[in-house]
Chains A and B, each alone.
Chain A
Amino acid sequence: MKRFISTISLLLAYNHLFANNSFHDTTKVIELNEVVVLGKTSKQQLVHFYKTNQASTLEDILGRLPELSFVRRGAYGMEPSIRSFSGGQINVLIDGMRIHGACTDKMDPATIYIEPMNLQNLQLQTSTNGFTSGSTIGGTINMKMAEAGFSDQPSVKTSVLSGYQTAANSFFESLVLNVSNKKWAIRLNGTYRNSSNYKAGNGSVIPFTQYEKTNYALSVKYRRSAYTYLKLDYLGDDGWNIGYPALPMDVGFASAKIASISLNYENFRKRFQSGTLKIYANTIRHYMDDTKRPNVPMHMDMPGYSTTAGFISQSTLKLFNNHLLHLSVDASATYLKASMTMYAPGEPPMFMLTWPDNRKIQSGVSALWNIPVDSNWNVQLAARIDYFGYELTSQSAKEQTSILGYPSTSRNNLLKNSSVRITRNLHRNFRISAGISYSERMPTASELYGFYLYNRSDNHDYIGNLLLKPEHSYNTELSTQYQGYKTKITITGFYNKVGNYIYGMLLPGYSAMTIGASGVKSYTNLSSVIFTGFEATVISSIRSDLFLTSALKYIHAEKSDRTPVPFISPAKNTTSLRYQKNNYSIQLEYEAAAQQKKIDANAGEDKTSGYQLIHIRGGYNFNIKSTNLLVQTGAENLFNKFYHDHLDWGNIARPGRNLYIQLKVSW
């Protein structure tokens, strides 16, 4: 256990920290590699459980975590949300790196760049302690990329995975190569996915749900000494012809290049236990396309560009009495620009900056101090300060933005976050944990500078507001956990009071730019919005060959006038039963969502009925000489239900019955 932990980098120091202290609640680190590590948190077990379908996209797997939901605008590129906080309210990081999407319509959250094959683990921090890697009110999802481990004997391992799915006539091919010895550890992987339009439960083909993409990653580690190694990472992702049926445009081509170099130190016997210094840069290009859409009133091009460069420096110190201090210093600069060119026959092209060229500078320091008071009490204190500066970088951006009449087009804010969490073992099997925090988040470039950004959901164009105040939130979280011999039950309740909540409000007197849009909105700060809810997870080995998991979540959110907050997931339950005998496994899954009647019609929402789905999966694992083969097959949405989820924009139906088969060969 300890050795395993020591192989993961410092970014997961929390995990290490709580593994030592057996206080697992605060940060959920979810291992996604092949080896099942027992005795982990509920979240890890849950994700393992759903990792069975090797062809799953990351969203498929993450969607099973009760804290997470996905706003869906197409079959691809779903936007993650933590307890209904999304976009600028949460951090979505890859190996701690900040990556800003290049799409003004949020088609490209950073989660699309991580193939499950390429994910080592997932660090999910909810509101009360989610801010340590960046000021945020909603929490942090940090996706740790897979890497090879050093090995005493030279080793070469290869896996090939190939799969086919019927609903979208889609296939995918994946290759992983690990090469390692004492000094070097190299991992190379690539994935290709190609998907046609999928069929919904009523047999109809849903147009513009196709996509095609490749993803390729290289990780090279070089050991310099017993306690230090250098690591170089490169991740590339290219997508073509990606449909977004809930939006007026698709993606013609999108490309991401993500690179980093880091120096890592680990020596858990020393006072200075571990440290990382990482320098990184990434650049994303995103070209939207409407040429395949019927009845387009006017053809337009909408390219977007994002470039971020930064560094992260983290270290963990072991203080007196096993106190641990985790320190982090980081800074980044993000450049964004996006434009729109419309073509009317016989007229000059209409060119406009949708994200006027802008730069965001962020720099922050954070400290997390873990105090094991005695064997039954643990206290954790955390704080972070972030400086944010936004500024327009071109004369044309300044001239265009001057139309809106703001006294200044730059912004500077100092954001403050702090939290306290106390954990107490009440009994050998029973633990309770309570946290409170205050956190802040910076408005996004779209919220500050966006220029007539069309929102298909409420059919309005959005203009940025340079006078927006940072959002802030008072969060409380109470968690209890029962850990029996065969069963683990976790129940977590939360209450977040968000102030200066950023919300779209009609701008009277403004005329919509987009043809057919109902009007223009801008962002405003609402005084107080409350999010409250709970998650409950049960994981149980009923018999040695029978394994049950069940997760239930519920969120209620309302504004100060008691009207609902838009896009809140309804109550949901996912329950699975797995029978595993020798090389065979059979898994039955039940997925249920309640209806959602609490809607905000101003945001373009309508009521959604509940649904219930059944999935069935089977696997057979066998060896031919030294080659391991894994055959998996199954049926998702077995009863071919015609349905959509409440968070699906445009009420676009989800796929109907999907049969899949895939083969993984490793040697």
Chain B
Amino acid sequence: MKMAVIAITGTAMLFTSCKKENNEPDPTINLSKLAEGYASGAATKVVVYTKEATISTGYTKLYIALYDSVTNNRVDDAHIHLSPLMDMGTMKHAAPYENPDEEAVNHLFPSTVTFIMSSMGGSWTIGISVHNHSNGKEGSLTIPVTVTEPAKTKIKSFTAAHDGGKYFVALTEPASPKVGINDLEFVLYKKTSMMSFPADSSLTMTFIPEMPSMGHSSPNNVNPTHIGNGHYKGKVNFTMTGLWRLNMDFTSNGAVADTTQYIDIEF
């Protein structure tokens, strides 16, 4: 009996010392797996994770994990390029996206795609091309994605009055709104062709939060200002729970671009 205990303890110690690397917490613990495949030519397995189990229209974070398909070791240094595509049968268009840095963060490559419509209108795919810096090989794969329309949309588009351009604005923060001071962040893109949606920083943004059923606002909000890559950051104050509407105004050097758009937040 005593022997058995020692044997078990010893085995356990052996086991833990061998698997030392795997003792760190799984970086994908709170994420859902969206898709998995091999980037042919790069000898790399690609696994895509998201925060939510279902993907909705708007600013969507994708966490990409890469593995060497031979050794199954994680690849933390790679160049990844996304190419989201919507096939509507008669026409195709892309969507705004943000490629990850070449260095993984906690073994994951964070990137984003801003889905500008749901899969009701056609089928979304995301092309992922990988340059695996550890083996020097390049390759790509395409994953299908189903995008649903949420109850409260987090993305709006408008045709600007001052230049006739088509802009997309998506809410990125607050992800979990609360009563009090909340970080507020939007991302702004301009459509320059069916395939090109670069980040835009040319517009000035102001907003007023409102509870539509009561007609009141909240005090001491901070208008979002551009902080880079089309991201605008400010503060929004919620005085109570419920349905809040963020009424947004966009201007370009004093000329009105749009004053009609709003995004609802419910908590």
Contacts and interface: CB of A to CB of B under 8 A. Distances in A.
A351 B219 CA distance: 17
A347 to B, nearest CB: 5
Interface residues of A, number: 26
Contacts of A347: 213, 242-243, 266
B220 A344 contact: no
Given A347-B266, A405-B220, A515 B215 contact: yes
Interface string A508-530: 01111101000000000000000
Nearest to A352: B240
Nearest to B242: A350
Contacts of B242: 342, 344, 347-351
Contact of B216 (A344, A400, A511): A511
B239 A451 contact: yes
Interface string B252-267: 0000000000000011
Nearest to A339: B240
Contacts of A348: 241-243, 266-267
A426 interface: no
B179 A342 contact: no
A466 B242 CA distance: 27
Interface in A409-445: none
B219 A509 contact: yes
A507 to B, nearest CB: 8
Interface in B223-259: 237, 239-243
Contacts of B220: 403-405
Contact of B180 (A340, A400, A509): A400
Contact of A349 (B178, B216, B219, B241): B241
A400 B239 contact: yes
Contact of A513 (B181, B214, B243): B214
Given A348-B243, A351-B240, A403 B181 contact: yes
Contacts of A602: none
Interface in A484-532: 509-513, 515
B217 interface: yes
A204 interface: no
Given A298-B214, A513-B216, A350 B240 contact: yes
A453 to B, nearest CB: 13
A403 B214 contact: no
Contacts of B214: 298, 342, 344, 350, 513, 515
B179 A400 contact: yes
A513 B211 CA distance: 9
B196 interface: no
B22 to A, nearest CB: 36
A352 B214 CA distance: 13
Contacts of B215: 511, 515
A402 interface: yes
Contacts of A400: 179-180, 239
Contacts of B216: 511-513
Nearest to B181: A402
A298 B213 contact: yes
B198 to A, nearest CB: 36
Contacts of A509: 219
Nearest to A347: B243
A171 interface: no
A85 interface: no
Nearest to A401: B180
B218 interface: yes
A298 B243 CA distance: 14
Nearest to B243: A347
Given A342-B242, A344-B242, A399 B219 contact: no
A155 interface: no
Contacts of B218: 403, 511
Contacts of B219: 403-404, 509-511
B9 to A, nearest CB: 44
A495 to B, nearest CB: 40
Nearest to A516: B215
Contacts of A399: 178-181
Given A403-B219, A404-B219, A351 B213 contact: no
Contacts of B179: 351-353, 396, 399-400
A351 B267 CA distance: 10
A344 B214 CA distance: 9
A158 B242 CA distance: 56
Contacts of A351: 179, 240-242
A405 to B, nearest CB: 5
A452 interface: yes
Nearest to A507: B219
Contacts of B237: 403
B217 to A, nearest CB: 4
A513 B213 contact: no
Nearest to B220: A405
Interface in B110-139: none
Given A350-B242, A402-B180, A404-B219, A344 B213 contact: yes
A143 B239 CA distance: 40
Nearest to B218: A403
**Complex A-B, nearest 3 residue pairs according to Cβ-Cβ distance, in ascending order:** A399-B180, A352-B240, A350-B242
15 contacts: A298-B214, A342-B242, A344-B213, A344-B243, A348-B241, A348-B266, A350-B240, A352-B240, A399-B179, A399-B181, A403-B220, A404-B219, A511-B215, A513-B239, A515-B215
Given A342-B214, A351-B179, A511-B218, 10 more contacts: A347-B213, A350-B213, A350-B241, A351-B240, A399-B179, A403-B220, A403-B237, A403-B239, A512-B216, A515-B214
